[in-house]
Amino acid sequence: MIAEVIVDIASSEVDRIFEYECDEGLRPGARVKVPFGNTYTAGFVISTKEKSEYPVEKLKKIAYVYDEPPAVNEECLLLTKKIARRYMAPMASVLRLFIPAEMRTGKVHERLLRYASYERDVDTGRAKKQAECLAFLKTYKKVEARVVEEKFGVSALKGLAEKGGCTVRKEKFVRSPYLNLPKNDRPHILTEEQERAIESISASSKRVHLLHGVTGSGKTEIYLTYIGKMLEEGKNAIFLVPEISLTPQMLSQLRARFGEAVAILHSGLSPGERFDEWWRLRSGEARIAVGARSAVFAPLENLGVIVIDEEHDSSYVSESTPRYKTFDVALARANYNGAKLILGSATPSVETFLQAKEGKFNLITLTKRINQRPMPTITVADMRQEVKHGNPSPFSIVLQEEIESCLREKKQAILFLNRRGYSQTVICQECGYVAECESCDVPLTYHAEENCLKCHYCGARYKMPVACPNCGGVRIRYGGTGTQRVVSELKKKYPEARILRMDNDTTSGKEGHYKILKAFADREADILVGTQMIAKGHDFPAVTLVGILDADMSLHFSDYRSGERTFQLITQVAGRSGRAEEAGKVVLQTYSPTNYILRYAIDYDYLGFFNYEQKLRKATSFPPFTKIVRVMVTGEKEDETVEVLKEIYFPLEKLVKEHPEEVFFFQKMKSPIKRIQNKFRYQVLMRLKSDLLLPHIYEICAVRKRNVLVYVEENPNNLS
């Protein structure tokens, strides 16, 4: 037999099929070790056949087959080919998405550990340590022997085992993360709306279902119920959540309901944990994969449902090659398996909702919160007035009053700050004026290194104003207050309050997010200060106040989606308040209190927002009515980078000239941020009418150079 093998080296020269002689019965998808050049390398069998066009004596033999069943199944192989074709990506780099890195390197293996298990009560006589050890094991049933020995001593455990109180044996160790999560499952009796949602999903013949429900309308319960249904039918499920910080809570709910059938996949796990969880899914031991976007590649067969929770979240687009959209992969898998794809959100993306409205997706609307809890009331604090009245602190008077009453009543508060990357907008603190591009009508971004303002859509540069062009005021500000400053101001004002901070600096470590959130949930603090990380998902019953300190930061972010993002953010953050019996309050601080987006958000009027935003996008030719494509060329040496830029620019220009009706905008330029991490960045920016030219663009950009990286982004999250 002949095996067609892709070697696991992501370089252009080897991105083709190599043939090897193999034994009968080798299955496509297997990981193998093959001779390559004068060494060995890992590879994947992508198909097998009887005969080769090469003379057999010229073919080398496969040296070793790593695993059975094959690491990659047939569906995933098909999908690999599809993705590789769609994004013109090397097969090897696509295959890597399906397999945890530690499997490919072969560095992680199954582990055997010694465990002490409780057997029965025995008389330990005067051996005090043995008695303690026995009581300990009686409580915890099974504990790693090393831990017991550290606690009670080697001889105590040995003695206890000899008396028959416990056994000590080696077992396969499963590094299952978050096992000590509290179990809190109280299966709910579904509300009428939830019942109808389940029926609608089951009955509709559409592939994609959009669950649009206000925060707290019980979407999670619907996912869990439908997953349970699928499990009963012998089918499996993938459950995607946006961020690691969200996963523990969701996971504990899933674990509580489905126990060991749940496996978690995300980059925050240790290599060993990832390896074990992955194999539990591949081997069929676990049947529900939970995780961030990469879990869409979970090695499950016979899928009944794929859930994408908070579907609008920007983390669902990959930021490294291949730049796949989670939705596209999920849809392909749902189609292959005949599974349902459920998208859920309180604030669906404009793109998704448009498709649902046009009837391409099954739209299910949940209008009520569980127990008819009212949505929290949102009070707007006009920060222009605060400045005028001489309040220099980051907290408006009304917010200060609310914080004080919250502390007095021993409730909890969340203060939310919006910070995005390096980008900063210029706002006049006296009139709310925001600097915008004259030709594109999007806010400009301040670039400190050049002390100027730039438009990320056309590259235009503007001088940084010293006074406000609108009111002449000199309190022009770029950027916002940091979380650290907010915390120190809080401490000064409320010395007795206990404060927790959650941002990129405080959440390092595998369970960093989880620890902070847990501490807050356990009421170890009164106020939680944080960035977008705290915006979504969490359920803190004692929180009755949410302060949004700088709503403008995302509103005037230089991105055509800034309105959409702001609406989503406010809705989500507001949803953190008043989850339990007590009514919630939200204070929203802004320099532009009359802004449309803010008005819709305050009224929780998604449809109003959508209609407004959709018209605007149509009128200004922005996605989803067009597609923004950016080709990025980056390299350490400027001349090499420009050389490659030229190489792709001329064929792109030719393509665009041949199809003028497809193109709104086409320009090559230095990227707004010219260098990141010592790499020069040049780009070609396009706005296209449709996806018609995309395959050609990918083809042109599929140049692979040693020192220069070229990649294509579609509707990128960030144009810096």
Chain residues binding ligand ADP by CB under 6 A are 188-191, 194, 213, 215-221, 370, 539
- Alpha-carbon distances, residue 122 vs 131, 145, 203, 420, 479 (angstroms): 9, 19, 59, 61, 67
Binds 144: which of Zn ion, ligand ADP, none (CB < 5-8 Å by kind)? none
Q: How far is the CB of 312 from ligand ADP (least distance, A)?
A: 14
Q: How far is the CB of 193 from ligand ADP (least distance, A)?
A: 9
Q: What pairs with residue 676 in β-bridges? A: 679
* 160 binding Zn ion? (CB under 5 A): no
> Quick check: 530 and 414 in contact, CB under 8 A?
yes
Q: How far is the CB of 178 from Zn ion (least distance, A)?
A: 46
> Which position among 458, 519, 663, 694 is part of the footprint of Zn ion (CB under 5 A)?
458
> Quick check: 78 and 336 in contact, CB under 8 A?
yes
Q: How far is the CB of 362 from ligand ADP (least distance, A)?
A: 18
Q: How far is the CB of 465 from Zn ion (least distance, A)?
A: 17
* Binding residues with Zn ion: total (CB under 5 A): 7
Nearer to Zn ion by Cβ, of 134 and 440: the residue is 440
Binds 611: which of Zn ion, ligand ADP, none (CB < 5-8 Å by kind)? none
Q: How far is the CB of 201 from Zn ion (least distance, A)?
A: 43
C-alpha neighbours within 13 Å on the C-beta side of residue 585: 16
Of 47, 26, 34, 31, nearest to 101 (Cα)? 31
Torsion, Cα of 699, 703, 709, 713 (10° steps): 0
* 655 binding Zn ion? (CB under 5 A): no
Q: Which residues lie below 8 Å from residue 673, measured CB to CB, with a gap of 6+?
A: 422, 447, 681, 720
DSSP SS3 for 150 = helix
Nearer to ligand ADP by Cβ, of 190 and 616: the residue is 190
Nearer to ligand ADP by Cβ, of 216 and 248: the residue is 216
Sequence-ordered alpha helix ranges (H) in 214-282:
219-232, 247-258, 271-282
Q: How far is the CB of 453 from Zn ion (least distance, A)?
A: 11
Q: How far apart are CA 70 and CA 48, in angstroms?
A: 13
| Burial of residue 559, with CB atoms counted within 10 A of its CB: 0-12 exposed, 13-18 middle, 19 or more buried | buried
* 71 binding Zn ion? (CB under 5 A): no
User: Residue 626 gets which letter from DSSP?
Assistant: S
Binds 165: which of ligand ADP, Zn ion, none (CB < 5-8 Å by kind)? none
Binds 458: which of Zn ion, ligand ADP, none (CB < 5-8 Å by kind)? Zn ion
Sequence-ordered alpha helix ranges (H) in 473-587:
483-493, 512-521, 552-555, 562-574
Q: How far apart are CA 72 and CA 199, in angstroms?
A: 34
Nearer to Zn ion by Cβ, of 134 and 444: the residue is 444
> Which position among 440, 551, 597, 700 is part of the footprint of Zn ion (CB under 5 A)?
440
Q: How far apart are CA 309 and CA 602, in angstroms?
A: 23
Q: How far apart are CA 288 and CA 227, in angstroms?
A: 8
What sign does the dihedral 134-138-142-143 (CA atoms) show?
Answer: negative
Nearer to ligand ADP by Cβ, of 373 and 515: the residue is 373
Residues 400-439 that bind Zn ion (CB under 5 A): 437, 439
Q: How far apart are CA 208 and CA 210, in angstroms?
A: 7
Q: How far is the CB of 534 from ligand ADP (least distance, A)?
A: 15
Binds 191: which of Zn ion, ligand ADP, none (CB < 5-8 Å by kind)? ligand ADP
To which residue do tokens 């299910």 refer? 364
> Quick check: 62 and 28 in contact, CB under 8 A?
no
Residue 618, sorted as left (phi over 0), alpha (psi -120 to 50) or beta, turns out to be alpha
Q: How far is the CB of 581 from ligand ADP (least distance, A)?
A: 12
Of 316, 309, 202, nearest to 249 (Cα)? 309
User: Residue 603 gets which letter from DSSP?
Assistant: T
Nearer to Zn ion by Cβ, of 576 and 617: the residue is 617
> Which position among 65, 354, 455, 648 is part of the footprint of Zn ion (CB under 5 A)?
455
| Burial of residue 574, with CB atoms counted within 10 A of its CB: 0-12 exposed, 13-18 middle, 19 or more buried | buried
Q: How far is the CB of 352 from ligand ADP (least distance, A)?
A: 16
Binds 174: which of Zn ion, ligand ADP, none (CB < 5-8 Å by kind)? none
Q: Which stretch binds Zn ion (CB under 5 A): 90-98, 99-107, 315-323, 459-467?
A: 459-467
Nearer to ligand ADP by Cβ, of 186 and 492: the residue is 186
Binds 440: which of Zn ion, ligand ADP, none (CB < 5-8 Å by kind)? Zn ion
Binds 663: which of Zn ion, ligand ADP, none (CB < 5-8 Å by kind)? none
Q: How far is the CB of 195 from ligand ADP (least distance, A)?
A: 9
Q: Which stretch binds Zn ion (CB under 5 A): 169-177, 448-456, 540-548, 555-563?
A: 448-456
Nearer to ligand ADP by Cβ, of 213 and 242: the residue is 213
Binds 220: which of Zn ion, ligand ADP, none (CB < 5-8 Å by kind)? ligand ADP
User: Which residues make up the interface to Zn ion (CB under 5 A)?
Assistant: 437, 439-440, 455, 457-458, 460
